[in-house]
Amino acid sequence: MEIRNDILEQIDKLELSPANKAWRRAMKSAPWCLHADRERWTVASWEETEGLDLELRRAKLLEKILENLTITILPFDQIVGRVTPTVIGCVTAMDISGDYIPAIWNDEDVDLTMDASVSLDRETLEILRKAAKTFGGKTAPEMTAKAWEAAVGDWEKNAEAAKLKDPSIDTAVFGQVTTALDWNKILKVGMKGYIEEAKAHIAAFEKNNETNINKLYFWQSVIIVLNAVITFSHRYAALAREMAQEEKDASRCAQLLEIAEICDYVPENPPRSFHEALQCMAICGAAKCLEHPMHCNPHWGRADQYLYPFFIKDVSSGAITVERAAELMADLIGRWGTQCMVQPASQKLSHQINFGINNIMVGGVNEKGEDVCNELSYLILHVVGLLQISSPTVGLKWSKKTPAWLMRKAIRTNLATRGGIPLFENDDAVIEHYVRDGIPYEEAVEWGGLGCVYPCLPTRAEHTGAHGLGAFNVCGIMSLALHNGLDINGNQTGLQTGDPRNFKTFEELYDAFLQQHKFFSHRIFWLGAIARDLEANYLRLPLISVLGLPASMELGQDNLFPHPDYSLQGIGDRAIIDTGDSLFAIKYLVYDEKLLTMDELMDALDSNFAGERGEEIRQMCLHAPKFGNDDARVDSMVKRVSDDSGAIIRSYDNSPFRPIMIAREGLAWHYYGGLGLGATPNGRKALEPLCDGSASPMRGADRCGPTAVLRSVINAGFKDSYASVLNQKINASIVRSDEGIDRLVEYTNAFMAAGGTHIQYNIVDSEELKEAKVNPREHTDLIVRIGGYSAYFVQLSNEIQDDVILRSEFSV
């Protein structure tokens, strides 16, 4: 592809427009708001539709919301379509998760993040309470919890309480709700094209005397929700015209009239311009979030590919300037990057933010294996650098063909945001994984990021995280082996594999670990399968189904019914590094060097290294060889744990579905998982965070420089995982020059070419982090990378702040 350097040069000179700056100021100063308007209309619809088929009932519910929800066009809006009428606002999901916000019954403030809460007026409280009473006890998550209790008693609750698995079922991560819509098709056919397709299926159903009435209900529901999306857009058109009549400023009046014209056309019809394409996405994305607001992440997928024809045509013809394209892009990126949700309690610990983690991917290759980086890839990175907000997650699909000009731009963007934005994910490796698992190459190349890191395909319904199945704590499983199956709370969550004090060899201990792993992981997969078979009895999501999965229309079924040919399920086996370091410390200190007895080690662990002897043993554990220093002994142990964990997961019979895939993500999971663990043999104290990311060394333990870390990651292999998150903290001074940027590009290229699957950089100085912790009001814009996502440093818990500060800081 021939790249127009004149466009790249124009992009490099761009600043945020006055409207974008006005939005950014408003966003920074806006109070957190919780809106009950959506719940008002969910309850009204539910009362009106009693007795209808569930699919139709859910379609009518979304229709009621989209036809009645309060809408606004704010003074700086260039694109319209919001989930709430305010700049920063949340809506709740009682119809999805039931009575999941305890604070509404106690007249307490509702916590939205670790450090932000909102007070609710009496009217809002009453609306939320009525919704909780209407839907509570009958939702898919609640009914699944009852089924699990029938199957295993309190076991699953105990496993969650010990932070051995996540997410909790009330997070309501159903299939396709956290992944991208099928933007390629949406932009090609519009809502009208989908409606015509549904009508054709209904006509064939009648002509052929088909008997599966559920298919008919699905297609009828599709027509209802798609017409509701059109109505939603037309409401914005009418509001824009009404506002234009009152507008005194001629320029803004013209903008409002343009908005009205565009919203009358899209998303009903396929867009004809870059502006119309973004507006189409805004309306569809807001509608998706309003159907299921728990995760509120429309996701972009490969935005630089499906939007590129609109962009280059309009810029080349003079229909739009590069400046105007950037302004429109900034509007939608900023809006989707700051949509927020009301989370259940457990997710606050594992996420520590309440922004939906939206994801934009740029770069990569096409079905012919050709590099497809383009001018829009460059513009997206530039706009993200100008906005300087913690979300969305931006991922660069690195391949051996990725051009140097885009890599340099990525590092400059990272320097501007300083929060690991963008991350680098190995396109070649992910495609290879998919092809190995039976996905055709031309389909595999279209993968995008789910949330922060997890690869997903726009052609398959992604059920990763669904059914209460997202990740499990491998280090917690090792702790079960060390305590004869007892978890941190004293519950018999694991098997009774024996007292490790009686094991004669390290292999006996390792075998106990593998037994615990297989028992625990296969049991949660079984419970996930129970949820998978049950949830569709209580919930349907027709809009997300039809716009999210191309096959759903032909199948005539909702995504809540996973289909073996089109559904993917995955897991993250987390804390591999902590487990490898800990097992090596035991082998080294107890069995090889005989510096400790197992009695001494277990007494020290169970007392959290109390007393003088405990601290002496802790220092021995801390100084045992650690992953991240290019030490073949410990790297091979980490590789062994990784390989064996992957083999156990893939040995689970997931038929009739594909084998469960593995991807080791980030989030703030290391904080969450650490809360379920006592002291560990790597020298970590009880309840402290585990290693960040999933391929990162123990903080402060990587003493041999950054390239030694890369060699350890390559040595360990992590071949079963589609991606393994590696964080590195880089001193900002080294990338202030072009030479420093080129060095970091070369460093990244070398790691990826050698087989690394993921890397991201915190380009920030430890002293600034320490200062921000002391004077948070002076550092409200400081962004850092936590695991797989970025966040404002001052909004994080003290433990995570300290975790980031204590990570090794490198020059490369």
* DSSP state letters, 654-715: -TTSPPPEEEE--TTHHHHHHTT----TTSPPTT----STTTPPPTTT--S-HHHHHHHHHH
Chain center to CA of 792: 17
Share of the chain above pLDDT 90, in %: 78
Pairing of strands 423-426, 758-763: antiparallel
Lowest-pLDDT range, 1-15, 706-720, 755-769, 787-801?
787-801
Task: Please state the rounded mean pLDDT for residues 276-303.
Answer: 93
Asked if 455 and 722 touch (Cβ cutoff 8 Å), the reply is yes
Burial classification of residue 199, based on how many CB atoms lie within 10 Å of its CB (0-12 exposed, 13-18 middle, 19 or more buried):
middle
Q: In which residue are the tokens 């201990």 written?
A: 509
321 in Cβ contact with 765 (< 8 Å)? no
Would you place residue 810 in the very low, low, confident or very high pLDDT band (cuts 50, 70, 90)?
low
For residue 113, the model assigns a pLDDT of 64
Instruction: Provide the pLDDT for residue 733.
Output: 81
Of the candidates 86, 142, 73, which has an alpha carbon nearest to the alpha carbon of residue 118? Answer: 86
Give the ranges where 118-212 is alpha helix by DSSP (H). 122-135, 140-152, 155-161, 183-207
Decide: residue 572, CB within 10 A, 0-12 exposed, 13-18 middle, 19+ buried.
buried
For 635-641, what is the mean pLDDT?
98
AA identity, residue 643: D
pLDDT at res. 776 = 85
Q: C-alpha distances in angstroms, 320 versus 48, 310, 422, 461?
A: 47, 10, 27, 36
pLDDT at 558 over 80: yes
How many angstroms separate the Cα of 778 from the Cα of each of 110, 390, 786, 791, 799? Answer: 26, 17, 20, 16, 20
Q: 789 or 801: whose pLDDT is higher? A: 801
| Angstrom distance (rounded) from CA 132 to CA 46 | 13
Q: What is the rounded CA–CA span in Å between residue 257 and residue 241?
A: 6
Instruction: Write out the DSSP string of 506-570.
Output: HHHHHHHHHHHHHHHHHHHHHHHHHHHHHGGGT---HHHHHHH-THHHHHT--TTS--TTTEE-E
Q: State the pLDDT at residue 789.
A: 59
- pLDDT of the residue at 110: 82
High-pLDDT (> 70) share of the chain, %: 96
Q: Does pLDDT of 71 surpass 80?
A: yes
Region 740-751: mean pLDDT is: 95
3-state secondary structure of 290: helix
CB 570 within 8 A of CB 471: no
Distance of CA 739 to the CA centre of its chain: 34
Q: What is the mean pLDDT of residues 124-143?
A: 96
CB atoms within 10 A of CB 121: 8
What's the pLDDT score for residue 143?
97
Please, are residues 564 and 199 in contact by the beta-carbon 8 Å criterion? no
Percent of the chain that is helix, strand, coil (3-state, to 5):
55, 10, 35
Asked if the model's pLDDT at residue 525 lies above 80, the reply is: yes
In the structure encoding, which two tokens stand for residue 246, read together?
Answer: 């009152």
Average pLDDT over residues 54-64: 98
pLDDT at 108 over 90: no
Residue 796 has pLDDT above 80, yes or no: no
Identify the pLDDT of residue 31: 87
Question: Cis before residue 18, ω within 30 degrees of 0?
Answer: no
Confidence of residue 355 (pLDDT cuts 50, 70, 90): low
Helix (H) or strand (E) segment spanning residue 784: strand 783-785
| Segment 192-249, tens digit of pLDDT | 999 999 999 999 999 999 999 999 999 999 999 999 999 999 999 999 999 999 999 9
pLDDT tens per residue, range 564-607 = 999 999 999 999 999 999 999 999 999 999 999 999 999 999 99
Q: Tokens 């075998």 — which residue?
A: 511
Q: Provide the residue type at 766 as one letter.
A: S
812 pLDDT more than 70: no
Whether 498 shows a pLDDT value over 60: the answer reads yes
Q: Average model confidence (pLDDT) for the chain?
A: 93
Long-range CB pairs of 278-281 (<8 Å, 24+ gap) are: 278/79, 278/307, 278/328, 278/329, 278/331, 278/332, 279/79, 279/80, 279/81, 280/186, 280/187, 280/190, 281/183, 281/186, 281/187, 281/332
Q: Examine the pLDDT at 674 and tell me if it is beyond 90.
A: yes
What pLDDT is stored for residue 790 in this prediction? 65
For residues 781 and 515, the model is more confident at 515
Q: Is the pLDDT of residue 352 over 60?
A: no
Higher pLDDT, 529 or 391: 529
User: pLDDT confidence of 353, banded at 50, 70, 90?
Assistant: low
What is the rounded average pLDDT of the residues 150-169?
Answer: 95
What SS3 state is found at 46? Answer: helix
For the beta carbon of residue 126, count every other beta carbon within 10 angstroms: 13
Cα within 13 Å of Cα(755), Cβ side: 11
What is the C-alpha to C-alpha distance for residues 113 and 405, in angstroms, rounded to an integer? 38
Q: What does each C-alpha distance from 73 to 267, 333, 479 come to in angstroms? A: 18, 17, 54
Torsion of CA 503, 508, 511, 516, to 10 degrees: 0
Question: How far is C-alpha 512 from the geometric centre of its chain's CA atoms?
Answer: 33
Identify which of 96-100, 347-351, 522-526, 735-739 has the greatest average pLDDT. Answer: 522-526
Please, is 368 exposed, middle or buried when counting C-beta atoms within 10 Å of its C-beta (0-12, 13-18, 19+)?
A: exposed
Whether residue 422 has pLDDT greater than 80 = yes
